[in-house]
Structure 1
Amino acid sequence: MTRRRPAQAIRLVLVVLLSALSLVVVAPAASAAVDEGIGHRTTPGQSWGGRDRAYDWLGSYVVNGEHVFCVSFALKAPDSNERYEPGDALLTKWGDPLPDDVAANISYLLLRYGDTQDADEAAALAHLLHSWTAAPRSKADLDPAKPFTEIGYDVDAHFERLPTSAQDAVERLRADAEANRGPWTATAAAPEGELYLDTPSEWSVTVTGADGEGIPGVEVQLTLTDLAPAGDGGVDQRADGAEDSKVTDGAAAGAAATDEPGETATTEDTDAENAENGTDDGDSSQAQQLTVVTGDDGTASISASPTGEQPGIVATLEAPAERPYVRDPVTTDTQRVVSTGGEQTLTAEATTSAVPAPGIVKVTKVDDETGEGIAGVPLRVTAEDRTSPAVATDGTELVGPDGKPLVVTTEGDDGAVTIENLRTPQTVCLVEVSPPNGYADAFDPENPPTACGELGPGETLELRIANVADEVPRTIPAGEQRTVAQAATTSGAPVGALVGFGALALAVAALVGWIARKRVLRQR
């Protein structure tokens, strides 16, 4: 279904002294004010007042330079002198209230096709309007002898006299109205989760009909605050679930509405408009306007990056009113016409908050001389003052169970540790809590090894802390240094030593005696 630009002042014209067929019956001098616009002639025309008509006109009329669609009567009921006044509800030719579904259909078709440039669509729209407002209640209402104030619209005869293409358009518009009539509902949605400044995210607006189904091809004007559209031409061309969606510049929305889907144009700041309305808050460059068109699922999306802390969108669109209503009586030469509106304005908005993109800190603990990583070293994550905690993306302080700044520990061969989701910008410091084994000599608890750096949005800050190893004792050559050992001393030999010495002496004496005795015996 092709989307037509919703006119800002769609007109349904009820013409005094017009027949049930919207036939312009005026003197030639008056016809200059009301001319045939876009549509088809059907031949022969329907007879009324005892006279035959050469043709009937089904389509728009040009009234004071504006294309409008006419219905077949100007009084609230036949034989009544009461005329329409602004704000009155539109009735049938017979003075009856329009059924709710018919009223909704009329409002929808005026909104969607009231500015059509297609002759088949214009003829189809006129035919449906007459069918719904002036259909005969009985055959008596089609008596050709009846005057224009009492004649009914011969629905079947006029349909048969339309070109085949216009007949097809009648069925198409009828089905379109049944499927997409009001009341409509508009909803705007902000991206889920936390938003980061200067980081694109998806915003959407959805238009649904009375049955809850999405309405395709609806133009929606978006006003963006603290948001910068992303993508080519400033706007992402994609609409969720839809192939035939588009976005257009706010100033060119009318002209671009009938372009091929998917086209984009640049966005338009609202500085001048804010200045005229006295609403300039001093930073009007943060508000932009653009036009999007819903896709097949009734949703249009844009990709935009937050430029401030409170990004949001306001969606505005023209929707079919629940019932068409009378607007203004207009006098044209010998005729009085009453224009009516079939639209209402819907708005929807969505806002959220945004913060700078988070940052990451990666710190490595290494040996000052060799550059090798040192694992198992506790480091405290602090702010620039080296005392208070650093801040996380969500604004909370990074603290441990003890309520003090969080402590992390280096690990692995490279002696590294990574801290993620840090608020930016901020200065982050890593302070050594206690020295690793073999590095205590150079550790000063009053001024522990520390590394600090400024962390920017979306950045990874790499820090390095080096430790000086303890000095290891060297091997000392003989003679270079004397070692004095001290021990306790006594004045005599120890008792155990004396006893052992005596036993040894007795054993030796016994052995010597035995040897001597053997020698004596041999000599004998």
Structure 2
Amino acid sequence: MTLLALPAAIAQAAPQEGLGYQHEAQPYKDRPDGPGWSGSYVWNKKQVWCVAYALKAPDSDVEYKEGDELLTKGGKSLAPDISANISYLLLRYSTTTSADEAAGLSHLLHTWTAAPDAQAGIAIGADVPFQKVAYDEQFNFDRLPASAHEAIARMKADAEANRGPWAAQVIAPTGDQLIGTADTWTVTVSKQSGGGVGGVPVTAELTDAKIEGSEAGTAELVTPADGKPLTLKVVPTGPSPSVAVRLDSPADKPVVHVPADSDMQRIVTTGGEKKLTANASASAKTPPGIVKIGKVDSETKKPLAGAALRVTAADGSTPAVLQDESPLVGPEGTPVVLQTGADGTAVVEDLRTPQEICVIEVAAPKGYEENYDPNAPPKACGKVEPGQTLVLQLGNKPNKPIVPITIPAGSEGGVALATASFTTETAPGAVAGFAGAVLVGGVALGLVVRRRLAA
């Protein structure tokens, strides 16, 4: 439990009154001359509030031990709802700089802890000694200004509505996240009666992530005043983004600082708040990539339609992988075969990144069979990067016109075979001029190799 440090102007001389109001004093036996006080005190340059009404005010020369349960002046345990109210008010208002709130907190503390108790001999009266005098709620209330009356009513209602125990929760977005792309995470601070608690300071710590617009790994935040969930725009920076929060919540029971001098007032401050933590995590991937394949006549550079192309991983035999980690396969479970469209292109989207991709021709377009070698087909490979389009280009050499060969009469026929020839190019941007892209998924094409024979 930590005491609140006051501004230097307040903490110059101690012991002394802090924030609040002087007013006509409630009478009791042998009361010293002087006004009464409703508000905080300064002890060892710290702002504190007192309980056990009418005992001596805190003295900076008197040491206190801490951690005892807060009891009534008659030595009885407080009702659970009263304990919860006090813990909440100490948590939410112990840092106040308002005289009305300081006086209101003092008034409520004395009302709840020093009420008349006939069984314990605690009573109101001018003939009652300070050790046994009860706090006269109405007498002291009437001597506070109207602004303090408003603060008392507001603070009491606030405690009734928002007292602890609280619960904290962090909710991550559903589904995988994309590295570099913001998504909404939520933080809730809820009370036992239901609904959220507004105005709660929250420290968020991020791993493999950052809040949009910030590079820091931590952030000091506050829940919305209306109690709605706190929303965070979180940008994953790694594969396992997580958000952890910590905050102070009201303790189940407030605690006090107890002096060695039994005639000295007991002091309270932040109420022995509880530390709440919550966290959530998600998985994140790099943005998917695209492969655009262009098929051209290697001589004229005109696009070629109808070319059958197999898309594989870097080894040329296993399937490429999609963003959802599934293999890119056709109906037979083997690497997918695509066919170029009328503009000579085929497109594969939603690929996991980074990833090496190879495109291998499995059947040449009509008119280009002569130079196609099935043992060394045209092939192009490249690496598709996050959020990028990889452009691969394959070229086919057209069939050459056949020139008839004169065979002398009576001699045996001869055959002139053309040698296989192909062109493979990897040229980013090379297909940028094509009008569009056609993706024919799962086309099962047979390998057709035709050779022209010379007559």
Per the normalisation by structure 1, the TM-score is 0.68
| Aligned residue type for 2:379 | T
1:386 CA drift (Å)? 1.6
C-alpha contact (below 8 Å) 2:323/2:351 kept by paired residues = yes
Question: Match for residue 150 of structure 1?
Answer: 132
- 1:288-307 equivalence runs, <5 A: 288-295=217-224, 296-307=226-237
CA distance in 2, matches of 1:360, 1:228: 27
The Cα offsets for residues 341-398 of structure 1, whole Å up to 9 and x where unpaired, read as 3411000111222222211111122333444433333321112222222222233332
Percent of aligned pairs sharing the same letter: 44
CA distance in 1, matches of 2:274, 2:189: 14
Q: Helix, strand or coil: the match of 1:122?
A: helix
1:227 CA drift (Å)? 1.9
Question: Match for residue 119 of structure 1?
Answer: 99
- 1:408-423 equivalence runs, <5 A: 408-411=338-341, 413-423=342-352
| Aligned residue type for 2:396 | N
Q: Helix, strand or coil: the match of 1:321?
A: coil
Deviates more, 1:342-351 or 1:204-213: 204-213
The Cα offsets for residues 412-434 of structure 1, whole Å up to 9 and x where unpaired, read as x3132221221211221111121
Question: Match for residue 211 of structure 2?
Answer: 229
Q: Which consecutive unaligned segments of at least 5 residues does structure 2 have?
A: 5-12, 56-63, 410-455
C-alpha contact (below 8 Å) 2:209/2:238 kept by paired residues = yes
Question: Match for residue 188 of structure 2?
Answer: 206
Q: Which consecutive unaligned segments of at least 5 residues does structure 1 have?
A: 1-7, 12-31, 76-83, 236-266, 268-287, 485-524
Question: Match for residue 65 of structure 1?
Answer: 45
Question: Match for residue 39 of structure 1?
Answer: 20
1:406 aligns with 2:406: no
Deviates more, 1:127-136 or 1:107-116: 127-136
CA distance in 1, matches of 2:241, 2:339: 38
CA distance in 1, matches of 2:139, 2:263: 29
Question: Match for residue 442 of structure 2?
Answer: none
C-alpha contact (below 8 Å) 1:186/1:206 kept by paired residues = yes
C-alpha contact (below 8 Å) 2:115/2:122 kept by paired residues = no
* 2:143 counterpart (136, 144, 161): 161
* 1:431 counterpart (360, 381, 391): 360
| Aligned residue type for 2:386 | P
| Aligned residue type for 1:149 | Q
Question: Match for residue 307 of structure 2?
Answer: 377
1:388 aligns with 2:318: yes
C-alpha contact (below 8 Å) 2:48/2:267 kept by paired residues = no
C-alpha contact (below 8 Å) 2:52/2:265 kept by paired residues = no
1:9 aligns with 2:11: no
Cα 1:297–1:165 change in 2 (3 A) is: same
CA distance in 2, matches of 1:178, 1:483: 115
Question: Match for residue 200 of structure 2?
Answer: 218
1:334 CA drift (Å)? 7.5
Per the normalisation by structure 2, the TM-score is 0.77
The count of aligned residue pairs is 389
1:187 aligns with 2:180: no
Q: Helix, strand or coil: the match of 2:49?
A: strand
1:451 aligns with 2:368: no
CA distance in 2, matches of 1:207, 1:310: 24
Question: Match for residue 89 of structure 2?
Answer: 109
Question: Match for residue 466 of structure 1?
Answer: 395
| Aligned residue type for 2:114 | A
Deviates more, 1:193-202 or 1:218-227: 193-202
C-alpha contact (below 8 Å) 2:51/2:266 kept by paired residues = no
Question: Match for residue 335 of structure 1?
Answer: 264
CA distance in 2, matches of 1:73, 1:448: 96
1:50 CA drift (Å)? 5.6
Q: Name the structure with the higher helix share.
A: 1
Cα 1:74–1:56 change in 2 (3 A) is: closer
C-alpha contact (below 8 Å) 1:182/1:319 kept by paired residues = yes
